[in-house]
């Protein structure tokens, strides 16, 4: 089956093979080398000198770690859909004080609006979603980060779960204190591991926050990683780590970052042109995602029938997320999808609608 859903994605055969490498002791030198190598490559991918931490959990694990470990006074969440809202709910569920500001589906968060809220001076943590997988909107990260730079007391946290590996993210020039992603989207690996970068400012913040928990405590993760020679506090998924290390080497040294990002742009253009000719796009202010397109079902295609016919042809189709379930459908164009694979998928849909 070919998956055209926004994660999990198709995983290349060679990556799957590396995942089944024999086990080693997680307390061995080899485990340290493995984690150190991943850290170096993630620093290259994210353009950062910040510390790289891993978690044997999906991205939600490290998102929860951020709210537990980095909010001291009060957090603010600028949401553009389901995943921004979920991050805010995590903060509340962890007993943190937090506010949420949401935009209508299809819109991005506006830097000027964020500025007007941060001016109030009551927040010490601000989070955005870079790429909202439910609406296919990519937030204007550079504009927002330029606003964030004015507020040195605020920890700037960015969810790049559905953009890292498909879109260039410059953690250091955007001064992102906490950047998080998962393996099962644009990085092209199975689900089960998440990665974050942590600035010195963020590390310092964790030292002032009480009751950070244990498994998801960013300071514990940091101390094991940096002060204990790239170790992990518990038993990590070494299989994922092998695969991630191998895949990052492929992205950086074989495909090369620029080519990968360019391929994602091309895939997104092809998908949007196809969708515009047949349906409507959900995005309203031109902030299109390069990794997933949300299509408004303006022709009232029976999505259940379409999905089942596509399944017969060997494809996994994605309808909308949450309350957009029946109103939209999504086409993921991320990870290692080729132009030919995408075109074949779109041609198949054409024969069925």
Ligand X SMILES: Cc1ncc(COP(=O)(O)O)c(C=O)c1O
- Binding-site residues from annotation for substrate: 330
Shortest distance (Å) from residue 180 CB to ligand X: 8
Q: How far is the CB of 341 from ligand X (least distance, A)?
A: 21
Q: Does 7 bind ligand X (CB under 6 A)?
A: yes
The footprint of ligand X on residues 328-347 (CB under 6 A) is none
Q: How far is the CB of 340 from ligand X (least distance, A)?
A: 26
Please report whether residue 162 would count as binding ligand X according to CB under 6 A. Answer: yes
Give the helix/strand (H/E) hosting 13: helix 13-19
Instruction: Identify the residue among 50, 129, 318, 328 touching ligand X (CB under 6 A).
Output: 129
Strand partners, 287: none
Q: Is 77 in the site for ligand X (CB under 6 A)?
A: no
3 state SS for 247-265: HHHHHHHHHCHHHHHHHHH
Q: At what angle do helices 238-249 and 29-46 cross, to 10 degrees?
A: 40
Q: How far is the CB of 121 from ligand X (least distance, A)?
A: 28
Is the Cα dihedral 167, 291, 107, 104 positive or negative? negative
**Residue 151 in contact with residue 172, Cβ under 8 Å?**
no
d(CA 202, CA 145): 16
Q: Residue 41 or 183: which CB sits closer to ligand X? A: 183
Q: Using CB under 6 A, which of 159, 177, 290, 336 touches ligand X? A: 159
Window contacting ligand X (CB under 6 A); options: 53-61, 99-107, 199-207, 229-237: 53-61
From 45, 141, 161, 174, residue interacting with ligand X (rule: CB under 6 A): 161
What's the token pair of residue 18? 């590396």
Burial of 313: CB neighbours in 10 Å, binned 0-12, 13-18, 19+: middle
Question: Residue numbers of the site for ligand X (CB under 6 A)?
Answer: 7, 58-60, 83, 129, 132-133, 159, 161-162, 182
């Amino acid at each position: 089956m070919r998956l055209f859903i926004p994660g999990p994605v198709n995983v290349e055969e060679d990556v799957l093979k590396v995942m089944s490498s024999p086990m080693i002791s997680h307390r061995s030198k080899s485990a340290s080398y493995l984690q150190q190598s991943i850290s170096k490559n993630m620093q290259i991918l994210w353009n950062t000198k910040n510390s790289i931490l891993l978690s044997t959990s999906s991205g939600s694990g490290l998102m929860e770690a951020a709210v537990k470990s980095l909010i001291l006074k009060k957090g603010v969440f600028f949401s553009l859909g389901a995943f921004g809202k979920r991050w805010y709910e995590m903060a509340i569920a962890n007993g943190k004080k937090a506010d949420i500001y949401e935009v209508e589906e299809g819109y991005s968060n506006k830097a000027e609006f964020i500025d007007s809220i941060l001016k109030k001076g009551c927040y010490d943590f601000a989070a955005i979603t870079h790429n909202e997988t439910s609406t296919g909107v990519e937030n204007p990260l550079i504009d927002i980060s330029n606003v964030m730079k004015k507020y040195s007391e605020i920890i700037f946290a960015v969810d790049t779960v559905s953009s890292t590996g498909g879109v260039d993210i410059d953690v250091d020039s955007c001064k992102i204190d906490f950047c998080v992603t998962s393996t099962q989207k644009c990085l092209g690996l199975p689900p089960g591991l998440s990665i974050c970068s942590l600035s010195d400012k963020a590390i310092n913040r964790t030292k002032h926050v009480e009751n950070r928990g244990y498994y998801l405590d960013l300071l514990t993760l940091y101390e094991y990683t940096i002060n204990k020679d790239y170790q992990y506090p518990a038993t990590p998924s070494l299989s994922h780590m092998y695969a991630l290390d191998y895949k990052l080497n492929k992205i950086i040294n074989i495909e090369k970052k620029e080519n990968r990002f360019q391929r994602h742009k091309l895939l997104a253009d092809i998908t949007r042109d196809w969708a515009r000719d047949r349906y409507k796009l959900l995005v309203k202010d031109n902030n299109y995602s390069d990794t997933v397109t949300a299509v408004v079902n303006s022709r009232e295609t029976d999505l259940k029938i379409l999905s089942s016919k596509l399944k017969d042809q060997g494809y996994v189709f994605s309808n909308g997320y949450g309350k957009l379930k029946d109103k939209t459908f999504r086409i993921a164009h991320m990870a290692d999808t080729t132009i030919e694979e995408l075109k074949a998928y779109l041609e198949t849909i054409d024969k069925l609608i």
